[in-house]
Structure 1
């Protein structure tokens, strides 16, 4: 009987490192939503050839962070109204399950991690740090849910939610309420009050939707071309 063989696993490649660097540049505002990602510029800045750049951009496209246009190149994603609606509805479904799972399965260490993540929001000193802390809070909630496939589902939309929050915080001058909102979420989970926690998470998402809807309306009022579409 012929001996079976398997292809050896490759070590983490250059394209992964490039993807990490570009993702970080998107999250810290170096490349805001809508910015073009030029291969030549990225290759020069990262001191690599264009091959790993192309592969990295494809990976970021699969994450939903980058969109490519024929003959135009790659751009940091700008979430459309339809994108936001789909992302919000999926996030809502995931969070409902996460709340039930945390209430039923989280231990004290899990709840401590959620509370600690909520406190980090109060220490954030700029919008990008606040968004990172917000994402870290939700990471802690999904980790506390102790549901592997649920955590994977969150991972699949995590980068797009990061862009969503960057867009939201750019439109919302009043962000002082965010740390308090997250402390309330943490308190409801600590109390294992599934109903209250679910309502607070829903209110939290609804406020973000309202901020983005207001931004869309304002943009439409100031842009006659959009009004006529």
Structure 2
């Protein structure tokens, strides 16, 4: 009987954890895609209703997202989706530049077989970007571009780099989505990606680092001045 109770408790814990993970993933994606725009403020119940989920897992997901820096819980005033100022975007890109250039360098020193596998994954994401751009489907382009950059870090073998990247890449993605229709058509991204891929395939760590850094520096130098030029005080 005691063992049955323990099993029930264990099953309940697993189910609860799963619901929280689902709520976390759903709310995080909604923030990334600006379904909940920067500066949005609402109650936990309102957010739960919009997500089609119950309040308890959403409450726990919000606590986790506050640790990620994506939301802020306001005493008696609900939840705020944290806006980003131009200086925030600049700082985020500085972290992304450092992390991704190091990740590319680490990829280039993997074994031949591992490098080939990662390079194929990166190539597939880049091809998907080009296909979406050919259809003028910018959200699809952004999704494939985001996958490329996530793979770059996730496959490098350094768990700490991956954890550092997790929050800042979510914030960089939000800036990218909000400025997507204001920027020039992103025709050069695929070519920049292929320079990184070629360096990884060749095992050239120095060139992989340089190519990844140059690519993200170019993105920063396009997005931040654009935000400042159009007078956006926050995203």
Assess same fold via TM > 0.5: yes
8 Å contact kept, 1:65–1:163: no
Query: SS where residue 157 of structure 1 aligns?
Result: helix
- RMSD value, Cα: 2.8
Separation in structure 2 between the aligned mates of residue 32 and residue 47 of structure 1, nearest angstrom: 18
Please state if 1:178 is matched with 2:189. Answer: yes
Q: Larger relative CO (CA 8 A, sep 6+): 1 or 2?
A: 2
Separation in structure 2 between the aligned mates of residue 121 and residue 51 of structure 1, nearest angstrom: 37
* CA deviation string 1:109-140 (max 9, x = no partner): 12211211221211225333222212211222
Residues 127 and 61 of structure 1: CA distance in aligned 2, closer, same or farther (over 3 Å): farther
Separation in structure 1 between the aligned mates of residue 35 and residue 53 of structure 2, nearest angstrom: 19
Please state if 1:121 is matched with 2:129. Answer: yes
Match of 1:99 in 2: 104
Structure 1, gaps ≥5 residues long: 1-6
8 Å contact kept, 1:117–1:140: no
Residues 170 and 65 of structure 1: CA distance in aligned 2, closer, same or farther (over 3 Å): farther
Structure 2, gaps ≥5 residues long: 1-8
Please state if 1:32 is matched with 2:40. Answer: no
Query: What's the TM-score, normalizing by structure 1?
Result: 0.78
Shift of 1:103: 1.1
Residues 186 and 206 of structure 1: CA distance in aligned 2, closer, same or farther (over 3 Å): same
State how many pairs are aligned: 216
Match of 2:173 in 1: 162
Residues 97 and 37 of structure 1: CA distance in aligned 2, closer, same or farther (over 3 Å): same
* CA deviation string 1:43-84 (max 9, x = no partner): 333444433332222222222322344554323332223322
Shift of 1:37: 4.2
Query: What's the TM-score, normalizing by structure 2?
Result: 0.76
Alignment of 1:1-229 (within 5 A): 10-11=13-14, 12-70=17-75, 72-105=77-110, 106-124=114-132, 125-220=136-231
